[in-house]
Structure 1
Amino acid sequence: MESYREMILQENDYDNMKWSYTTFIDMNNYLKKTNMDQEEIQELLSVSREGISFGSVTKRDMLFIHSLTSPNRCLELVETYKLMERTNEYVPNMKEELQWLKDRWEKGFYIFVNQ
């Protein structure tokens, strides 16, 4: 595939958090318990199954990046389902992970899981 080199990332353009597989599953299970439907969960936890290497972004990668849910929509879902307030209803508590996501959405970051 053709490589998209126009995408130049500066250090402050992205952030990352290393979640274990179990953390991702715990977050997914927590969101299910809040009565979010699967489509809404996928909006919040978009997964790049092929993995994206920011050193060489392909056309497929760009299509995926452009399909990500907007930060405002993610914040809307957090508010609609009262996700921050309800984290203590679920064990393990997902507040720290969810707060990290919310902080990034408030800064305008688009978030996805890179496998």
Structure 2
Amino acid sequence: MGSNLSFNYMTTPHANLQPQVINYVSFASEFYRDPTAQIRALPKTLHILVIGGQVFGAKGDWAVSLAGVKRLAAKFKAAGLSTTLFVYTGTPVGAYHSTLHQNPYVDAEILHFLFT
């Protein structure tokens, strides 16, 4: 939900006084409506990290499908945006949707993306 709200903020026109987003983390999100039109509104200088989880033997993180996460990453790439896909695969302790937020490996990937 939070990733979708951030996406909506970035694709809605604002006055120049608003913060300019340079890095965006799409955290275990998929869009149920085609976001292609909104993606065109994103700045071409935006860097995107798309994160997905996959519980062993499942089709995703038990809340969001990995196929949906991959589709979103592909749409960003097709729009010419700098996009990296990171998938954490593991047990429910680390790969379940809500535990991805506490996962130190996911945190390390986000830190690397934001600060290097």
Fold similarity call, TM over 0.5: no
More strand by proportion, 1 or 2?
Answer: 2
The structure number with the bigger radius of gyration is 1
Which structure dedicates a bigger proportion of its chain to helix? 1
How high is the TM-score relative to the length of structure 2? 0.28
